[in-house]
Structure 1
């Protein structure tokens, strides 16, 4: 499909190759999302495992409505900012068999400064939803840890995470996965595209 081809081309953004205009990529993402709904696309958690670099985003639905901006106003992230998300499986006892437990780390690197937020995730086997919460923070400068600890209330939030309803949690609804790219819609309505990061 042409939409899949455009998404894969956009995922090459950080390699410095020619990439489609953001508006075309957003259209391709919307088409891929529509196709995923029609075909009842159900990716596996294993397809998300690894590290992915954020390359294109749109604003959230609320922000767009407030600013009067159309959904098509997507944008590539600057190449000098590195924002990555990593997923790994986790073993949690007595968990609902329809859910797969995992861990997430969201890392932002600007020059020598590195900020990481991490926490638990849960993936519904029969849906395309991944709920998550950030409960821990790590700050490094030139590779030296300046701070590492729980976010305020993080210990309690992590303890209650797997029993809490998804309506109270942040989540991504994934509608596109490949070996080189993943795409999702966030709870706020924004779209995001990540490319696999190989270091």
Structure 2
């Protein structure tokens, strides 16, 4: 823990509680109010009692009002799919790369093939922190729209507007899909969420909702 973080935590009025591991922790249910949760807390079991209320609790509408309204309308009204490709920080940070690894093009192609057989999307909306890489990776796709120039919170809100989601091994697009209010959404996620070595120390037992598809 760096000195700057120690200082921040010392001044922070809430007591920080770190998750003991990646999967669901039953002790969460006994935590008191007035604390700061530190970690991923990325298990669907934490949110199960509030699954139908998530989009009302985490309000994205104020963020969507700051976006291009013609884009919001296009993503919301069509049979659209958000596609998230994450590269930047994973490639630049060796420690992050050792834990997360990289999701390759084959995963995206296979997810698209399944969507083409089932819901037949009319537009794939691509979000990435490395747009040039994304354009090269998906150069053989048609019906694509590369979303660029937004703030991170705007991209997250726009992902949730799409009817379906192809996510990366990233909590960012995981939340974009979680906040998607389409009752018939098809969500595809990479089965290899972490590298093989990192998976020895982490469980994915309750990372994905039952209706999501893993590839």
More strand by share: 1
TM-score after normalising by structure 2: 0.28
**Which is greater in Rg?**
2
Give TM-score scaled by structure 1 length.
Answer: 0.29
More helix by share: 2
